[in-house]
Amino acid sequence: MITMIGGEMPDYAEERPPAAGPLYRHLIDWLPAGIRVLVAGPHDAELVGALADRRDVTCLLRSQPDAESLAARELSGVTVVCGDLSKLTEADRYDAVIALDGARRLCSPEGPQLDWTESVRALKRTLRPGGTLLLTVENELGVHRLVDPGVPTAARTGDAWHPLADFGSAPGRADRLAALLGAEGLPVAGLAAAWPLPAHPTLLVTPETLKYGPLDALAALAAAAVAPAYRGRSVLSDPRRLAAASVRRGIGAELAPAWLAVAQRATRPDQNVPVPPALIAGPGGSIAEVTKAPDGGWLRRAVQGPPELNGPLPAGKLLEEQLLSAALGHDLPALRRLLTGWMAALPTVDAGDVLVDGDRFTRLDLTPERPDALARFAHTLATGGYHHPWPGITAPDRLAEVLAGAAGLTTAPVPLADPGDTLPDSRREHEEQMRALREQLADAEARARFFEVELEKREAELGRAKTQIAAFSGNLGYRAAKAGLVLARAARNRIRKGRT
Amino acid sequence: MHHGNHFYGHAHVLAEYCGLDGGDPPRIEGYLQHGWNVVDGLGAGTPYAPGRPIFVWSERTRRRAWSMDRPLATVIGAPFLYILRSTEDDAPEQPREGTIWYPFHGWEGQKVSGDHHRLIDEITATEPGPITFCLYWNEFQDERIRALYERSGRVICHGYRGYMRMRTDPRFLHNQLAELRRHKRVASNRLSTAILYGAAAGCDPAVYGDPMYLDGEDTPTAARIRREWPELHGTAPDPETARATALAELGDGHLASPAELRAILGWPAFGAGLPAKVAA
């Protein structure tokens, strides 16, 4: 059963995926039971179902086909409302408003075109005093945008009738988001930067932690969070590097793809949704939170999933970045040390999942093992646009052999399973590969000319040698023997003729 | 590749280190640096096939090669260092004695101008012990020059470095190392490959005397060498400092394992059953 409130879009289904993922699910679980919740905009049905478990949920969707498909699921405790945000009346008041999809997909072509601030005001009006707002804001200058080959200001999706992109009024920084919400009477109780994509974050870190926290480990976590989201996807440049570098260099919050704000219409602690310093969704549905220990160190605790995650957050830097840095610095001894240590300690764990601290190699996450880990790194090194100590070797499989040797192995490395499927497909690297190929082609042509000159010299030498041989083979003894042979043959032929 | 890869038996040494036939080294996919120099590792006049890597001794040389538009350089260290690290001294109990002196030479076709008499006088006045003069093969074959040095000491030659892969003495570097290990000092009138080898092999190095310029030589380069490596010049430079510099110039710490070297040089990988050697 759907309530049509006006402004609905009868023929349009949302083209981009709804807000989803284990971290959003984990956060909404904090909301108390028995409350009234408005879910504004497209959210994954599983998320809605989890919310509705012990709460009274109303879902607002502008797309009629999407509203119908959600209603068809007949989730208990869920009311589906279809239409434009501006059509919600003052009478519709909720204890919590969930807008994890942001404020962009709440208006239809029919109603007033609310900008970001106006949308937030409209959402606020639906909150009861003391109510909680969970709002995600996409960062138009986030890593996901910086690597996107698409042009956001010329988007072709059916809902891009105003493709404002970064010309819009949404805040451009986490602290400004908090300030703007505060100014609207929605003081922020929790704030986190999100990776790898606004719609499906697997890593949330508070801006405070991104300033003063364990930046190396967080950079590694950011790269690890970004990697699976970009498998085989076309990008401008490698998002793993950009995400890790921004965190490591202290501008992680500024370049994160999105920010999540937990705001309240007034302070009412019993409804608060706590945001820990960092929340990580790992493989296999595990969720871990990072907290500060009393001694100043950082702890990881499995909220959900295997207890192996419990303990101090592994110290050190991401192995992949350390390897690249040693390769770029042509530091062969360091590179060999890292490769040897890695292949001895964790040979089947991807370099993007290993932290190295001195001689200690620790697994960062519980991603599946990869027997081709070394060949994968060779592929990155050969095709990712990096200088390395073996510039004469351009084929990834040959470079993998060199790396295996440098790692102290005497057996051939396991060949790469499928590079196209597992690594981002970066256009900047394509440019570099094109430049390298042009150079190789020019070199090959020059080499062909070089060899022709060499060949001419050798042929001249051979010609001289043949003349010498002919001259020496024309001596008296040789000529006498040759004449004798001719006479003997003639005599034999005469005898044969005489017989016949 | 270039026949220079066989000079001094360099290719042979590396093949043996890699567990391959040292008597018949496989073709190397690139160019080996065959002597110490202050240019791109190869030196002027090497016919260079474009796009082929060069294998240099030290990171410093690699950086210089890059700046000289030779980007395809890989550091593998000096082949001499591979022998030094893998060959035991066959007579360690025998004390080191005297000086092995390398009068500066040109290569075939170059002529040195200078006064051999005056140089020998200066050497005998400086050196405290017996002197072994090691001459380059063409000077060694010159009766007149050899007789001149024989008056003041023992005269040797490490062998012929080979040319166009002919008459290469694959034991050249082994002979040189064995000689160096018998001497307390190594000296020359120019900082050269032999001084670096000697310092690495445990001799106290010295560079002094008339530098005896080559005909048409670029003398500013010789002056630059003296400015750049003062710690190796003089009659008695500090041996430890000099040794550290010499080892760095030979690429100490950069030697590749046999498996790595095979892959780098384009040689066949270790097959099943072949013994694995430990990296130097």
In percent, the amount of chain A with pLDDT more than 70 equals 97
Q: What is the pTM of this model?
A: 0.84
pLDDT tens digits, A54-66: 999 999 999 999 9
Comparing CB atoms, the residue among A390, A398, A404 nearest residue B74 is: A390
Q: What is the pLDDT of residue B278?
A: 39
Indicate whether B92 belongs to any domain. Answer: no
Cα–Cα distance between A176 and B67 in angstroms, integer?
47
Comparing CB atoms, the residue among A330, A393, A412 nearest residue B269 is: A412
Cα–Cα distance between A79 and A85 in angstroms, integer?
16
Pairing mode, if any, of strands B54-56 and A311-312?
Answer: unpaired
Query: Contact A393/B279, CB-based, under 8 Å?
Result: no
Query: Contact B74/A389, CB-based, under 8 Å?
Result: yes
Same domain, residue pair B22 and B134: no
ipTM: 0.87
Same domain, residue pair B149 and B206: yes
Q: Is pLDDT above 90 for A425?
A: no
Residue of B nearest to A329 (CA): B59
Same domain, residue pair B35 and B113: no
Indicate whether B36 belongs to any domain. Answer: yes
Cα–Cα distance between A397 and A390 in angstroms, integer?
13
pLDDT in 10s for each residue of chain B, 280 residues: 567 788 888 999 999 999 999 889 999 989 999 899 998 888 776 677 888 899 999 999 999 999 998 899 999 999 999 999 988 888 888 889 999 999 886 555 555 656 778 888 999 999 999 999 999 888 888 888 888 889 999 999 988 776 666 667 888 899 999 999 999 999 999 999 999 999 999 999 999 998 877 777 777 888 899 999 999 999 999 999 999 999 999 999 999 999 999 999 999 887 633 444 433 3
Pairing mode, if any, of strands A234-235 and A287-292?
Answer: unpaired
Q: What does the block give as tokens for A61?
A: 């969707």
Which domains, and CATH codes, for chain A? 2-151+168-286 (3.40.50.150), 317-423 (no CATH)
Indicate whether B45 belongs to any domain. Answer: yes
- Residue to mutate among B260, B261, B262, B264, with most A CBs inside 10 A, is B260
What value does the mean pLDDT take over residues A359-367?
A: 87
CB pairs under 8 A between A and B: 79
Indicate whether B85 belongs to any domain. Answer: no
Query: Contact B269/A389, CB-based, under 8 Å?
Result: no
What value does the mean pLDDT take over residues A267-283?
A: 80
CB–CB of A147/A239 below 8 Å?
yes
Indicate whether B216 belongs to any domain. Answer: yes
pLDDT tens digits, A18-42: 999 999 999 999 999 999 999 999 9
| Angle made by CA atoms B238, B244, B248, in degrees to the nearest 5 | 145
Same domain, residue pair B105 and B230: yes
- Which residues touch A493 (CB under 8 Å, ≥6 apart)? none
Burial (CB count within 10 angstroms: exposed 0-12, middle 13-18, buried 19+), residue B166: exposed
Contacts of B258 in chain A (CB under 8 A): 405, 410
Same domain, residue pair B44 and B177: no
The domain of B141 spans 99-247
Indicate whether B135 belongs to any domain. Answer: yes
Indicate whether B88 belongs to any domain. Answer: no
Give the range with max mean pLDDT: A182-186, A201-205, A392-396, B91-95: A201-205
- Residue to mutate among B264, B265, B267, with most A CBs inside 10 A, is B264
Query: Contact B49/A450, CB-based, under 8 Å?
Result: yes
Amino acid found at B7: F
Query: Contact B53/A401, CB-based, under 8 Å?
Result: no
pLDDT tens digits, A139-193: 999 999 999 999 888 888 889 888 887 788 899 999 999 999 999 999 999 999 9
Q: Is pLDDT above 70 for A303?
A: yes
Which residues is A263 bridged to in the sheet? Answer: A133, A188
- Residue to mutate among A386, A402, A403, with most B CBs inside 10 A, is A402
Cα–Cα distance between A149 and B257 in angstroms, integer?
42
Same domain, residue pair B121 and B229: yes
Q: How many domains does chain B have?
A: 2
Q: What is the pLDDT of residue A250?
A: 95
Query: Contact A410/B259, CB-based, under 8 Å?
Result: yes
Lowest mean pLDDT among A131-140, A262-271, B250-259: A262-271
Band (pLDDT 50/70/90 cuts) for residue A321 is very high
The alpha-carbon gap from B276 to the nearest alpha carbon of chain A, in Å, equals 6
What value does the mean pLDDT take over residues A448-452?
A: 91
With tokens 């790992």, the residue in question is A282
* CATH number for B154: 3.40.50
Lowest mean pLDDT among A220-234, A347-361, B148-162: B148-162
Residue of A nearest to B59 (CA): A330
Q: Is pLDDT above 50 for A99?
A: yes
Residue of A nearest to B266 (CA): A398
Residue B279 DSSP one-character state:
P
Band (pLDDT 50/70/90 cuts) for residue A79 is very high
Indicate whether B153 belongs to any domain. Answer: yes
Same domain, residue pair B116 and B70: no
Cβ of B247: how many Cβ atoms within 10 Å?
Answer: 19
In percent, the amount of chain A with pLDDT more than 90 equals 70
Give A43 or B2, the one with higher predicted confidence. A43
Q: What is the pLDDT of residue B217?
A: 74
Q: What is the pLDDT of residue A417?
A: 82
CB–CB of A55/A33 below 8 Å?
yes
What value does the mean pLDDT take over residues A282-303?
A: 90
Contacts of A393 in chain B (CB under 8 A): 53, 263-264
Q: What are phi and psi of A292, to 5 degrees?
A: -90, 130
Same domain, residue pair B179 and B259: no
Same domain, residue pair B192 and B165: yes
Same domain, residue pair B243 and B109: yes
Contacts of A446 in chain B (CB under 8 A): 50-51
What value does the mean pLDDT take over residues A270-283?
A: 86
Same domain, residue pair B240 and B103: yes
B261 near A CB under 8 A:
yes
Query: Contact A411/B270, CB-based, under 8 Å?
Result: yes
- Which residues touch A305 (CB under 8 Å, ≥6 apart)? A282, A284, A285, A286, A287, A288, A366
B95 near A CB under 8 A:
no
Comparing CB atoms, the residue among A332, A333, A401 nearest residue B263 is: A401
Same domain, residue pair B9 and B135: no
Cβ of A65: how many Cβ atoms within 10 Å?
Answer: 15
Burial (CB count within 10 angstroms: exposed 0-12, middle 13-18, buried 19+), residue A453: exposed
Cα–Cα distance between B256 and A426 in angstroms, integer?
32
What value does the mean pLDDT take over residues A445-460?
A: 92
- Which residues touch B156 (CB under 8 Å, ≥6 apart)? B132, B133, B134, B135, B140, B179
pLDDT tens digits, A245-258: 999 999 999 999 99
User: Quick one: three-class SS letters along chain A?
Assistant: CEEEEECCECCCCCCCCCECCHHHHHHHCCCCCCCEEEEECCECHHHHHHHCCCCEEEEEECEHHHHHHHHHCCCCCEEEEEECHHHCCCCCCEEEEEECCCCCCCCCCCCCCCCHHHHHHHHHHCEEEEEEEEEEEECCCCHHHHCCCCCHHHCCCCCCCCCCHHHCCCCCCHHHHHHHHHHCCCCEEEEEEEECCCCCCCEEECHHHHHHCCHHHHHHHHHHHHHHHCCCCEECCCHHHHHHHHHHCCCHHHHCCEEEEEEECCCCHHHCCCCCCEEEECHHHCEEEEEECCCCCEEEEEEECCHHHCEECCCCEEHHHHHHHHHHCCCHHHHHHHHHHHHHHCCCCCHHHEEEECCEEEECCCCCCCCCHHHHHHHHHHHCCCCCCCCCCCCHHHHHHHHHHHCCCCCCCCCCCCHHHHCCEEHHHHHHHHHHHHHHHHHHHHHHHHHHHHHHHHHHHHHHHHHHHHHHHCCHHHHHHHHHHHHHHHHHHHHHHHHC
Query: Contact B259/A443, CB-based, under 8 Å?
Result: no
Cα–Cα distance between B177 and A420 in angstroms, integer?
51
